[in-house]
Structure 1
Amino acid sequence: MGIDRVMALRSQILERNAALARAADAPSAPDASKAAGPTSFADTLADAVKSVSKSQSQASDLSAQYERGETIDIAKVMMARQQASIGFEATLQVRNKLLSAYKDIMSMPV
C-alpha cells in the first residue's frame, strides 16, 4: 500500500469525523440549542479524550476477538487500530501545542 493510498484513507477518515461532528452538533429540536448553551474548551477537550479512549478500547476489543479466532474481518480490525492510532496522535499533538502555548504565556513579562 503506497503512501498516497494511506493519505487518501486518512483524509476520508477526517472528512467522515467532521461530518459526524457536524451531525452531532446539529440540534434535534428547535429549542435544543437554547437549552444547551455554549460548551467550554475543557468540556470539548474532555469529550475528545473520551472519544479517543473509546476508539482505543474498541480497537483493543476487536484485536482480542480476532486473536481468539472469532469471525472478525482483519480489515475491520486494522481499520479500527489505525483510527485509534490517528486519534491518539492527534490528541498528543493538541496536548503538545497546549503545553507550548502555556509555556509561552508563562514566559511573558507582566
Structure 2
Amino acid sequence: MSDAISSILSQIRAHQSHAALRADAPAGNAIDPSLLNPGPGAARPSDGPGFSETLANALDNVSATQRKSGELQQAFELGDPRADLARVMVAMQESQVAFRATVEVRNRLVQAYQDVMNMPI
C-alpha cells in the first residue's frame, strides 16, 4: 500500500511542478501585488484551468483507467495473446488506486464543506 501512496504523491508533485512551470507567477512564494486589489470591475487573470475543470479532468482520467482495465480483462478472458495476466493485474491495480484516491478526495471535499457550513457566523 505504501508503494501506491508514494506513486500518488509523486504524481501530485509532478503535477504541481508542471503547473508551476506553466504559470506566469512571481518566483518563489511571493504574491503578485496586482492580484491583491485589482480594483472595481477588474477581472482576475486566469492562469490555468479552474477547480471544476481540473476535477472533471481527474474524473475523466479515472474513468479512462477503469475502462482500460475492463477492456484488458475482457481481452484476457477471450484469450487475446496481447493481454497477458501481468498487464491485466497492473491495470486492475491502477484502476483500484485511482478510484480509492478519487473517493478520498470526495470525502475530504465533503468534510471541508461540512466544516464550512458548521462555522459560526
Same structural fold, with TM-score higher than 0.5 when normalized by the shorter chain? yes
Unaligned runs of 5+ in 1: 1-5, 28-32
| Highest RCO, 1 vs 2 (Cα 8 Å, sep ≥ 6) | 1
Inter-CA distance 23–69: structure 2 relative to 1 (3 Å threshold): farther
One-letter amino acid matched to 1:41:
F
One-letter amino acid matched to 2:111:
S
Which entry has the higher C-alpha Rg, 1 or 2?
Answer: 2
Number of positions where the alignment pairs a residue of Structure 1 with one of Structure 2: 98
Give the superposition deviation at 1:12: 6.1
Match for residue 105 of structure 1? 116
TM-score for the superposition, normalised by structure 1: 0.73
The 5 A counterparts of 1:1-110 are 7-8=2-3, 10=4, 13-14=7-8, 17-18=11-12, 21=15, 37-71=47-81, 72-110=83-121
TM-score for the superposition, normalised by structure 2: 0.67
Unaligned runs of 5+ in 2: 25-45
Inter-CA distance 16–73: structure 2 relative to 1 (3 Å threshold): farther
Percent of matched pairs sharing the same residue: 31
Which string of whole-angstrom CA distances, capped at 9 and with x for unpartnered residues, describes residues 71-93 of structure 1? 11111000000000000000000
